[in-house]
Amino acid sequence: MNKIVNKGTNKFINLSVILLVIALLIRIAGDLLFTLFDYQLNIGDIWTLGLTLFIAVLLFSIFINNNFAVDNLFNKKTVNINDITKIHNQNYFKELNILLISVIILIILNSFIPKDLNYVNIGESVVYKVLSYTIAFVNLVYVVFAMATIFKWFYSHKHKFTLVYLFIISGIIFLFILIEFEIALFNIVNEFIADTINGLLMFFLFVFVFFVNTKNDWITLLPKKDKLKLLFLSFFALLVFGYLFDRNTDSIYEDSLSLAINRFTPGVIGLYYGSYLIAFSYFFKIFFITLFSLPTSNVVDKKSREFNNLKHLNRLIAGEFNLSKLFRTVLELSINQTRSSYAWMELYNGEECDIAQSINLKHEYISELNVYEGKCIFKTIDRPYLCENTNNDVFFKNIGMINQIAGSLISLPIFDAKKRVGSLVLLHRDKFGLDFYNLESMTAFANNVSIAFENSRLMKQSIEHERYKSEMVLARDLQKKLLPSNLPKIKNYSIAAFSFPAQEAGGDYYDVVRLKNGKMAILVGDVSGKGIAAAFIMAQLKGVVHSMAGRSSTGKELLVNINNSIFNNLSKNEFITMSCLILNDENGHINFARAGHTPLIVNEGGSMLYYKPKGIGLGIINNSMFVKNLEEIEIRLENHSVCYLFTDGINELRNSEMEELGFEGMNEMIRLNGHSSAEEINRDIKESLYSYAKDIEQTDDMTLFTLFYQN
Amino acid sequence: MKQSNALKIDTVTRDGIELITIEGFLDAHTAPILEKHIETLVNSNRIRIIIDFSALEYISSAGLGVFMSHIEEIRNKGGDIKMIKMTDKVYSVFDLLGFPMLFNLEKNEEEAIFKFNNNIIGGSD
C-alpha cells in the first residue's frame, strides 16, 4: 500500500513540476511580451500576479506532498510503536534544521543582488534581469516552503478545527495580497485606511496563530538536552523571521532586493510579510513554551525514565518465563531508576534464603549481609519498606554490616499469589539517597515481578496439564482402535455393542472371535487400572485372545488359556475381569463362563434372569486355582430373549444425587419390547443412561454388548 | 464429579494380630495409602492381619488390587490377610471378582482369629 501511495504522490509531484516549468516559461514569455509595453499597464501586472499565485500554489502543493519533508510515521515499515515519540521529535528537529539552514542560505544568496539595480537596468540588461529574477524566485520558493513546513507542523498536531484555522490563515494572507494589489494598482481605497486595515489584520494574524498553535505537550516531554536545543533554534528563528518580516513590510528598505522581488512578484508582497509574520508568531510561542518548561525538565526526565522502565518491564513480564533473566533485568532497571549502588533478589525456600541474582555484590557477601541473629532479615519485612537513614533506623541501626555499606535502603516483598516467595533489596550508599518516590516506583516493579512469578508457575502447571491431557487422549485413541469396528452378522442373532471411555479410566474390552471348532465367542472385559497403563494391557489382551481363540473349544478353555498367558505379564495388583458367551448353534443354545466379571443378564419376555457362575478374575491366581474355581454353564434361550454383557461402569453409574444405577436400575432400562434389533435396543439404553447421569462427569468406562435372539 | 474422598486407617496390635480398621473410600486415589501401610507391616514381619471393613463406604477395582499386592509374600511367611465385617454392598464387589475363593471373608473378629489359630488360610481348599 505504501508503494501505491508513493507512486501516486510521485506522479502528482511530477505533474506539478511540469506545470511549474510551463508556468515559468509562460511567465518569461509574457514578460518579454510586456516589456514591449509600458510595465505600468494593469493587464500585464494582473497577468503576472495571476501567474505568480499559480506558481506559489503549485510550489505549495509540491512541498506539502513531498515525502522528504514529512515522513508519515505510519507508513514507515520499520517503525516500532514504542519509538513513535522519538521519531516524531527527530523528524521535527530535522525539518527545523532544514528550515533554518535554508533561510541562512537565502540571506546569503540575497546579498548577491547587484547593488545598483534600478527600474531602468532591470528592464534593459538581460544579465541584471535574469540575476534579479532568479534571486526573487528563490525568495518565493523559500517563503512557500516555509509556509508549507509550518502548515505541516500544525497539521501533524491537528484537532477538529485545525483545517478551518489553516484555511483562515491562508485567507488572511490572501487578503494581504488583495490589499497590496489594490494599493499598488488601483488605489481606489484611501491608502491610510488600507494601511490601517492591513495593520489590524497583521495584529489579528499574529494573535490568531499564537493561540491556534496548540498541542505542544511534546515539548514539555522532551529531554532536557533537546529542550535547550529547541530554545536556541526557536530564538534564532525568531530573530531571522522577525528580520525578514520587517524587511518585507512597507518597503522601508527601498533597496535592490525589494525592487527585484517587487518586479518579479508585484502585489504579492503580502504573501511574504504574511508568511514571515506567521513564522514569527509560531516560533514566538514555541520559544516561550520551551523556556517555561525548562524548570520541570528534571522531574519530567525522571518520570519519563520511570515510565519507560516500567513499560520495558511489562513487556518482559508478558513474555519471559525464564525467571533469572527477568530478575537480572529488574535489578538493572531498579538501579538505573533509583541510582542505587547495590541490588539483589533473594528467594525463600523453607528456612533458607537463597540469592537468585545480584548486582555489584558477590552472592557470598550478601548471604552474610542478609542474615541477622540466624534469621533472614528481609523476610520479616512483609510490605514495601523504605529506610531513609540506616544509622537512624530502629531496625537497621544495629546491623553493622548493612549500615556500613548503605546509607539508605528499600526492601520489597515478592509474592506468588498469596505466598511470600522472596524479596527485592536496593542499597544506596548515601543517607536520604532513596526517597518515597523511589519506594512508590519500586513497589510497581516488585508487583510486576510477583506477577511474573505467578505467570511462570501457572505456565508450568499448564504445560504439565496439557501433557497429562494428551496422555489421556492417547490412551483413549488406543482403546478405540482395539475395539472391533464392525461386528459380524450371525444367523438368528442380532448383536450390537457400544463402549464409552471415561476421562480417567481403565480399558474396557469387547470382541467377537471364532473358536477352534468354529463356534462364535463373544467377549466383554474390564482391565483394572487407569490411563496408558490400562490401554497397554488391553492391547496385550487382544493379542492373547486372538491367538488363544484358535486353540480353544469352550469358553472355560479360552479363559484358562488367556489367564495362563497373561498371568506373568501383569503385576500383582493388576487384573482383568472377563465374561465369555459361546454360541453353540443357531437355536439359542449358549454357554457362559465368567472370570470375575459382572453377571450375565437375560431379559426373557419381561423377566430378568441373572447368571453368575463361579469364577475368579484373570491375572489374580495361577492356573490350578483358577481352573478349579471357574464354572461354565449352559443356557437355553427363549425366542426373542435379549442377553446383556456389560462392565461395571454401567451398574455403578451415578446420577447427580450420587445414587448408583445398580442392577435394579438397569432392569428398568432393559425391560423393553417392540424393538427389532440389538442396535435399536442399544440406542434406547444409551439415551436412558445419558439422561440418568446427565451433567455428571463420567468416571468409568461403560460398555454394553447386546445379543438379541430372533429365530 | 470427581471426588477425592479420604481413607482413614487405624491399626491395633493385639495378641500378635494386627487389626486394621479402614474407613471411607478405597479407590485408585487412596489405595496407595493402604498398600504402603500393609507393606510396612510386612517388612516388620507383622503378618497376621485382620482388616475390618465395617466402616468402608466404597471400594473400586483398584482398591481390590491392593490385597493382591502382598498376599503371596505374607502367606509364604506363614501369615495371612483375613477380612471381616463387610457390608453387603462391599461383599458383593469382592464376590463378583471371586475373592471368597481366595480369602477368608468372615463376619467377625472371633471367626478370623479362630482361622488363624487353626491355620485355615483362604483359597487353599
pLDDT for the residue A41: 55
pLDDT for the residue A500: 84
Question: How high is the ipTM of this complex?
Answer: 0.90
- Of the candidate ranges A244-253, A634-643, B10-19, the one whose mean pLDDT is the lowest: A244-253
Residue B124 lies in a domain: no
Model confidence at B122: pLDDT above 80: no
Residue B96 lies in a domain: yes
Read off the CATH number of the domain in which B82 is found.
3.30.750.24
| pTM assigned to the model | 0.54
Q: Which of A527, A528, A695, A698 to mutate to test the interface with B (most CBs of B within 10 A)?
A: A528
Q: What percentage of chain A carries pLDDT values higher than 90?
A: 33
- Most confident range, picked from A225-239, A673-687, A692-706: A225-239
pLDDT for the residue A324: 81
Per-residue pLDDT of A73-83, as tens digits, reads 555 556 666 67
pLDDT for the residue A443: 92
Model confidence at B4: pLDDT above 80: no
Higher pLDDT, A323 or A123: A323
Grade residue B124 by pLDDT with cuts at 50, 70 and 90. Answer: low
Measured between beta carbons, which residues in chain B are less than 8 angstroms from residue A504?
Answer: 2
pLDDT for the residue A8: 59
pLDDT for the residue A78: 60
Residue B73 lies in a domain: yes
Say if the Cβ atoms of B65 and A573 lie within 8 Å. yes
Residue B122 lies in a domain: no
pLDDT for the residue B1: 38
CA A47 to chain centre: 60
Model confidence at A70: pLDDT above 70: no
Domain limits at B109?
A: 2-117
Distance of alpha carbon A445 from alpha carbon A450, whole angstroms: 9
Residue B100 lies in a domain: yes
Model confidence at B125: pLDDT above 50: no
Q: What percentage of chain A carries pLDDT values higher than 70?
A: 90
Residue B32 lies in a domain: yes
pLDDT for the residue A67: 47
Q: Once rounded to an integer, what is the mean pLDDT over residues A143-157?
A: 89
Q: Once rounded to an integer, what is the mean pLDDT over residues A436-454?
A: 88
Distance of alpha carbon A529 from alpha carbon B55, whole angstroms: 24
Per-residue pLDDT of A568-587, as tens digits, reads 888 888 899 999 999 999 99
Count of CB contacts below 8 A, A vs B? 70
Q: Once rounded to an integer, what is the mean pLDDT over residues A97-111?
A: 91
Residue B67 lies in a domain: yes
Q: Once rounded to an integer, what is the mean pLDDT over residues A245-261?
A: 71
State whether residue A129 sits within 8 Å of chain B by CB: no
DSSP codes, A405-472 = H-SEEEEEEEEETTEEEEEEEEEESSTT-S-HHHHHHHHHHHHHHHHHHHHHHHHHHHHHHHHHHHHH
Residues A506/A528, Cβ–Cβ less than 8 Å? yes
Q: Once rounded to an integer, what is the mean pLDDT over residues A516-531?
A: 89
Measured between beta carbons, which residues in chain B are less than 8 angstroms from residue A573?
Answer: 31, 35, 62, 65-66, 68-69
Per-residue pLDDT of A338-360, as tens digits, reads 889 999 999 998 888 889 999 99
Residue B125 lies in a domain: no
Q: Once rounded to an integer, what is the mean pLDDT over residues B70-95?
A: 90
DSSP codes, B54-92 = TTEEEE-HHHHHHHHHHHHHHHHTT-EEEEE---HHHHH
Distance of alpha carbon A96 from alpha carbon A372, whole angstroms: 61
Measured between beta carbons, which residues in chain A are less than 8 angstroms from residue B28?
Answer: 529-530
Residues A347/A353, Cβ–Cβ less than 8 Å? yes
Tell me the pLDDT of chain A averaged across its residues. 84
Model confidence at B107: pLDDT above 50: yes
Say if the Cβ atoms of A620 and B97 lie within 8 Å. yes
Number of structural domains, chain B?
1
Closest Cα in chain B, distance from residue A525 (Å): 12
Q: What nine digits make up the cell of A466?
A: 496439557
Say if the Cβ atoms of A573 and B96 lie within 8 Å. no
- Of the candidate ranges A134-148, A435-449, A525-539, the one whose mean pLDDT is the lowest: A525-539
Q: What nine digits make up the cell of A56?
A: 506559489
Q: Which of A336, A407, A418 is nearest to A382 (CA)?
A: A418
Closest Cα in chain A, distance from residue B10 (Å): 22
Model confidence at A426: pLDDT above 60: yes
Say if the Cβ atoms of A598 and B2 lie within 8 Å. no
DSSP codes, A495-514 = EEEEEE--SS---EEEEEEE
Nearest-CA residue of chain B relative to A595? B97
Grade residue A2 by pLDDT with cuts at 50, 70 and 90. Answer: very low
Angle, helices A162-181/A269-293, rounded to nearest 10 degrees? 140
Measured between beta carbons, which residues in chain A are less than 8 angstroms from residue B98?
Answer: 595-596, 614-617, 620, 629
Model confidence at A469: pLDDT above 90: no
Torsion sign, CA atoms A411, A415, A418, A420? negative
State whether residue A78 sits within 8 Å of chain B by CB: no
Grade residue A187 by pLDDT with cuts at 50, 70 and 90. Answer: low
Please enumerate residues of B whose Cβ is less than 8 A from a Cβ of A.
1-2, 28, 31, 35, 61-62, 64-66, 68-70, 72, 96-99, 101-102, 123
Measured between beta carbons, which residues in chain B are less than 8 angstroms from residue A618?
Answer: none
Say if the Cβ atoms of B65 and A526 lie within 8 Å. no
pLDDT for the residue B123: 66
Other beta carbons less than 10 A from residue A496's beta carbon: 18
Higher pLDDT, A621 or A24: A621
